[in-house]
Structure 1
């Protein structure tokens, strides 16, 4: 019995620790890359400061702002730390900010000897971002208990995978599509392993998730071939072309890789739900046949499709709401709207992701039917 527990502990934590060490070495190796300088930033830095005085405001009588403010900022970082600098803040919506005394700001400065050129880049909101992220993780852990802690760890792992595996691989010219498949596989495996451990439920949900993600990619590719909408039709293609010319980054595949990553959460959700429900059927009825289990799983999946099929369509529609409002306000012809690249991309993302959700249902049900009935252990609530 003790040997069995040791074996179980090693499988539960020993193998993951070993794989984590290998992954850390891979991450370190991938990020040892020298980036090509696209824009010269010699001498330019972004530093923090606090507004201490408004010398010249740009507030108009009607409450609008025109031109720029002239303010005094006490620097809190960089070579000018502790000094008072006279600088400007524009009235733009993308850069600059409406400064107030006491406001923390980010200052863009270029220093050459004793001379320096500065301007306000934005309000310093880094503390707010970190605080809200920490508050979210804390709420997840408090409400979810152990499962919440595991979910938080999985979320951190997914973020790290995108930042330190996906981006370096794509930057070095690896296919964005297959890199996204790798990231989705890693994120799904780690997330489900942390939640359910080395069980058959984890295996079923992971394989079902991968099937759904690949299905989404396949349908996006088919839509692209039929409609002519590609990764070269995105709005920021001019900047991406620079990356293609300097580093041979496969910018055409970025659109599809982003689709896979965006679909991951919804596909994991439906695969886990179906896999868990079907396992409970096996626990409650150990003698259930494979065919009967399959039909029961499909009935469960059909009920879930009714709501989950709208998830990604609404998500991508919400992300395009500003564009839709502009199209409505300018009263553009329907033929122009439906054939615009932006609408085509939004439709492709929403429908292809929903295809992934729908097709993950039969894939997960089929996998569960074979895996759960292949090795029965009645009454094992842990899914081993």
Structure 2
């Protein structure tokens, strides 16, 4: 009887998991069809590119170099390139390569480059745009994913799938939502909910702790957004105080994009990873403590979650602050070098935006701790005891 009971428990447990994965697969298929349909949108042309394309090319010869006697480069290089793609594939053409940090490249024979090809009738002009960096990027990307899979095993593979899904959501859901005129803040919250659900499900399956982590992550992201909006109102940041505002205003006039919310929306996306880590760590800890000590009441579980959250909170807040500081390192260096007065620094749009992002993102992480602790402790105590999983090796006894 005991063996039969264990076998029945094992089959029920695995049967439930199979149903969950089938439901998850159906959800992903429906979501994919939705993304395909949602991305059927006409993109307004901001700049005329008629007759101009970017093509892969290979440097064949240097006709005129721009290196000086002191080793510095001034002016342009004149080179011969072989076009590797497009309508002139296989043909040789003369091209210029500017001496610049943003565009151009220091060309050498055999080097792969990206060339801007401008065609007008029988006239063609070619300019070297940059090095061909595609293979370097793809190579390191595959190494990165390979290391994750190698170290993480099955969990590593699921982590990669979750990462790819997040990237797909940002490109094919977040950006189209904003482009179609939806609120950027709403788009960020939707992305947070969808990507958190899928990531958590892939790593831990659907359970009470996964549900708590998802609710806690969304709550933390919303808190970060509210904090940013309040900070912006107090500091008179409208979301239009950004370098790309002129180009964005053109989009606002053409497509009705809510440009003022983009600054706050980007903050939510930036804080998502840290909030997700804290939420899952606390949720998992509370449910594990409940499994080991079922006699512990809701208050005891809440206190345990808070104690764990305080440790995680310290490191995650540091992570966010340092990430924003690192992103603004150039601005900070120039501020230091020019010895700008305090009143100019504290009232600079760029500096205030960095401070707002750091404080608001950290607020989201900090308040995620009590939110998840409360949700997880309440759900863990209130739920029925789950049937313990039986090891597959038990089936060998039958």
The verdict on a shared fold, with TM-score over 0.5 as the criterion, is yes
Tell me how far apart the structure 2 counterparts of residues 375 and 262 of structure 1 sit (CA, whole Å).
34
Deviation at 1:288, TM superposition (A): 1.0
Q: What does residue 198 of structure 2 align with? A: 190
1:308 and 2:316 matched: yes
TM-score, normalized by length of structure 2? 0.93
Deviation at 1:113, TM superposition (A): 2.8
1:12 and 2:17 matched: no
Match of 1:261 among 261, 269, 272: 269
Q: What does residue 334 of structure 2 align with? A: 326
Deviation at 1:379, TM superposition (A): 8.2
1:116 and 2:90 matched: no
Contact 2:98 2:104 in 1 (8 A): yes
What are the equivalent positions in structure 2 for 1:1-384 lying under 5 Å apart?
Answer: 1=8, 4=12, 7-377=15-385, 380=388
| Structure 1 residues 314 and 267, CA gap change in structure 2 (3 angstroms) | same
Q: CA RMSD of the aligned region, Å?
A: 1.5
Deviation at 1:30, TM superposition (A): 1.4
Q: What does residue 394 of structure 2 align with? A: none
Deviation at 1:238, TM superposition (A): 1.2
Post-superposition CA distance 1:177-219 (Å, at most 9, x none): 0011000111100000000001111111111111110000000
Post-superposition CA distance 1:320-371 (Å, at most 9, x none): 0000101111111111011000001100101100000000000000010111
Tell me how far apart the structure 2 counterparts of residues 148 and 59 of structure 1 sit (CA, whole Å).
48
Tell me how far apart the structure 1 counterparts of residues 283 and 296 of structure 2 sit (CA, whole Å).
15
Post-superposition CA distance 1:137-169 (Å, at most 9, x none): 110011001111111000000000000011111
Tell me how far apart the structure 2 counterparts of residues 27 and 203 of structure 1 sit (CA, whole Å).
24
Counterpart of 2:240 in 1: which secondary structure?
helix
Tell me how far apart the structure 1 counterparts of residues 296 and 111 of structure 2 sit (CA, whole Å).
66
Deviation at 1:248, TM superposition (A): 1.2
Counterpart of 2:37 in 1: which secondary structure?
helix
Tell me how far apart the structure 2 counterparts of residues 197 and 39 of structure 1 sit (CA, whole Å).
47
Tell me how far apart the structure 1 counterparts of residues 387 and 179 of structure 2 sit (CA, whole Å).
49
Post-superposition CA distance 1:225-267 (Å, at most 9, x none): 1001121001111111111111111111111111011111101
Query: Which blocks of at least 5 consecutive residues in structure 1 are unaligned?
Result: none
Tell me how far apart the structure 1 counterparts of residues 325 and 129 of structure 2 sit (CA, whole Å).
31
Tell me how far apart the structure 2 counterparts of residues 9 and 326 of structure 1 sit (CA, whole Å).
56
Deviation at 1:114, TM superposition (A): 2.2
Counterpart of 2:339 in 1: which secondary structure?
coil
Tell me how far apart the structure 2 counterparts of residues 190 and 269 of structure 1 sit (CA, whole Å).
14
Give runs of ≥4 in structure 1 deviating > 6 Å: none
TM-score, normalized by length of structure 1? 0.97
Counterpart of 1:310 in 2: which secondary structure?
helix
Counterpart of 1:78 in 2: which secondary structure?
coil
Contact 1:286 1:378 in 2 (8 A): no
Deviation at 1:5, TM superposition (A): 5.0
Deviation at 1:10, TM superposition (A): 4.0
